[in-house]
Amino acid sequence: MITFEHVTFSYDNAESGVTDIDFTVQDGECVLLCGSSGCGKTTLTKMMNGLIPSFYTGKLEGKVSINRKNLADMEIYEISRMVSSVFQNPKTQFFNTDAESEITFPLENRGMDVKEINRRLQAVTAEFGIEKLLSKSLFEMSGGEQQIIAFASAYISDTDIIVLDEPSANLDAGAMQTVRRMLRKMKQAGKSIIVAEHRLAYLNGIVDTVHYLENGRLTHTWKASDFYSMQDSQRRELSLRDLHETAEIPQLPDVYTLGSANSATDIKNALTADQLLLKRGKKTWDYPVNFQFPMGKIICVVGENGMGKSTFLRTLAGLEKEQSGAVLLDGRALRKKQRRRTFGMVMQNVDHQLFSDTVTGECRLGNGAVSDEQITEILDLLQLSDYREQHPQSLSGGQRQRVTIAAVLLSGKQILLLDEPTSGLDYGNMMTVSRALRAHAANGGLCIVVTHDTELIRALYA
């Protein structure tokens, strides 16, 4: 049993923390912590695995305890025998390079007997059905596969409590179903599960209790059945993402399924592709891409996993060379280098795309001609006006995402390519991005958005 008794915490570097948190997680219960970006849900997970206050220091008041033992009196390694953790970013949670050692890492740290480790490894491998995965290097795995290994490692530890911090961030729809299956397994095994999440639909049927945080305070608690039957209007007011499975992509004229025929008729004032064949490194795709996207539109590109959606966008952006075929603007073929100059792009990981030391500096970078008025207008639109002089890297994930979008909107480029621009965003942030893209299209620009986010697709064409 985990108990939070009037817990208040503030980080040393004045980053927001949590205030007066009071709740209990019963044995075998699955608890969902939700709320908009920066609400404090990740902070609570770090308290449960002991990283706060030992690793991330700050001022802690109140008491967090597991089975009546005060965590503040324990070392992190002692807590790690009771609590397993799965983190948001699989890339930074791996210590090993091979999957087997990664799974057994917590057991080896405890100095467990090799025979017992091997026995448990065999059992977990069979239970999760991951025999094939074990021979792969962790660096060759997809985000979803890496997350499976992280789950297996948490499961093998045989702790009663498992804490997960946004395990589905950066995962596509298929991988999320895998995460769901694994959570179900853990629950059946009687574990207490605490999961902090933005994406909520896939947890329906697994969680028992939902806590909602706002500015570091726990403001709402629901039973799962009440939470998932909430009115849509209330859900939006709380800035929460969709509560129900909507894997089905809305059938709209501007939703383009990669590989489907979309024949070109009038090539004026449009971006077209003629028999474009994709490749990335040694990998090739053998279906031809044909499309015609008129200016002044938002085109959402969808398609199954492995269809090469990201490669498609990278090819348009001039980062990959096509096998054959052509990309044409106004009927004129553009070579790779010309495409780089003509198109603006926002990639999935925003951290690599921020170069400047202030938000306004970022907006000016590469385009000295942009006026103060234009910057103000775009920053207002993306609700970033309060952060003009802040360092982009000091902002939250959602805010950084919006800064990259602001920079690309101000780059003066008419055609914008966006790869999953809303995967880690809460409802409010997602709507803000959607409004900005609609404004760009209304001004005659073209936005091509690769996305799995059905809620975004509906918002873009509402």
Partner 1 sequence: MVLDIRTKLLVMLLTATCVSLNNNVAVEIGMMLILSLLLILCTKNLHDLWLLLLYFGFVAIEFLVFPVVPDTVSMLLSMPVVNIRGFFPVLLCVFLIYKTTEVSQMMATFTKMHIPKKLIITLAVAVRYIPSLIEEWHHIRDAMAVRNVTGGIRNPVRRILLRVECYLVPLFISMIRTADGLSAAAIARGIDEPVTPTCRRYTRLRAIDYLMMTAAIALTAGCFYFTYFRG
Binding marks (x or -) toward partner 1, 140..159, rule CB under 8 A?
-------------x---x--
In the list 67, 321, 340, 372, the residue contacting partner 1 (rule: CB under 8 A) is 340
Which residues have C-beta within 8 Å of that of residue 205, sequence separation ≥ 6? none
Number of residues that bind partner 1 (CB under 8 A): 67
Rounded to the nearest 5°, which phi and psi values hold at 65? Answer: -135, 150
CA distance 271 to 326: 11
Helix (H, G, I), strand (E, B) or coil at 147: helix
Q: Which is nearer to partner 1, 177 or 411 (CB)?
A: 411
What is the torsional sign of CA 152, 157, 162, 167? negative
The single-letter code of the amino acid at 125 is T
Stretch binding partner 1 (CB under 8 A), from 12-20, 293-301, 354-362, 376-384: 354-362
CA distance 400 to 14: 19
In the list 351, 372, 380, 389, the residue contacting partner 1 (rule: CB under 8 A) is 351
Stretch binding partner 1 (CB under 8 A), from 204-212, 243-251, 364-372, 454-462: 364-372
Confirm or reject binding of residue 310 to partner 1 (CB under 8 A).
Answer: no
Nearest CA to 419 out of 343, 285, 315, 314 is that of: 314
Confirm or reject binding of residue 373 to partner 1 (CB under 8 A).
Answer: no
CB of 124 to partner 1, least distance (A): 14
CB of 137 to partner 1, least distance (A): 9
CA distance 48 to 292: 52
Confirm or reject binding of residue 229 to partner 1 (CB under 8 A).
Answer: no
Rounded to the nearest 5°, which phi and psi values hold at 304? Answer: -70, 165
* Sole residue written with tokens 């993306």: 382
CB of 329 to partner 1, least distance (A): 16
The single-letter code of the amino acid at 431 is M
Confirm or reject binding of residue 344 to partner 1 (CB under 8 A).
Answer: yes
Which residues have C-beta within 8 Å of that of residue 108, sequence separation ≥ 6? 101, 117
Binding marks (x or -) toward partner 1, 108..147, rule CB under 8 A?
xxxxxxx--xx--------------------x--------
Binding marks (x or -) toward partner 1, 10..49, rule CB under 8 A?
---------------------------------------x
Nearest CA to 348 out of 95, 151, 165, 142 is that of: 142
The single-letter code of the amino acid at 76 is I
In the list 34, 329, 345, 384, the residue contacting partner 1 (rule: CB under 8 A) is 345
Paired tokens of 431: 């709507």
CB of 165 to partner 1, least distance (A): 10
CA distance 438 to 380: 15
Contact 426, 198 (CB under 8 A): yes
In the list 57, 219, 367, 443, the residue contacting partner 1 (rule: CB under 8 A) is 367
Cβ-in-10-Å burial (0-12, 13-18, 19+) of 192 comes to buried
In the list 168, 353, 432, 434, the residue contacting partner 1 (rule: CB under 8 A) is 353
Binding marks (x or -) toward partner 1, 398..437, rule CB under 8 A?
---------x---x--------------------------
135: left (phi over 0), alpha (psi -120 to 50) or beta: alpha
Stretch binding partner 1 (CB under 8 A), from 14-22, 33-41, 252-260, 314-322: 314-322
What residues numbered 246-265 form the site for partner 1, per CB under 8 A? Answer: none
Binding marks (x or -) toward partner 1, 69..108, rule CB under 8 A?
------xxx--xx-xxx-x-x-xxxxxxxx-xx--xxxxx
What residues numbered 157-186 form the site for partner 1, per CB under 8 A? Answer: 157
Q: Which is nearer to partner 1, 92 or 371 (CB)?
A: 92
Q: Which is nearer to partner 1, 262 or 396 (CB)?
A: 396
Q: Which is nearer to partner 1, 262 or 374 (CB)?
A: 374
Helix (H, G, I), strand (E, B) or coil at 270: strand
H/E/C letters for each residue in 273-336? EEEEECEECCEECCCCEEEEEECCCEEEEECCCCCCHHHHHHHHHCCCCCCEEEEEECCEECCH
CA distance 153 to 155: 5
Q: Which is nearer to partner 1, 111 or 190 (CB)?
A: 111
Stretch binding partner 1 (CB under 8 A), from 32-40, 181-189, 273-281, 365-373: 365-373
Q: Which residues bind partner 1 (CB under 8 A)?
A: 49-51, 55-56, 75-77, 80-81, 83-85, 87, 89, 91-98, 100-101, 104-114, 117-118, 139, 153, 157, 314, 317-319, 340-341, 343-345, 347, 349, 351-357, 365-369, 393, 407, 411
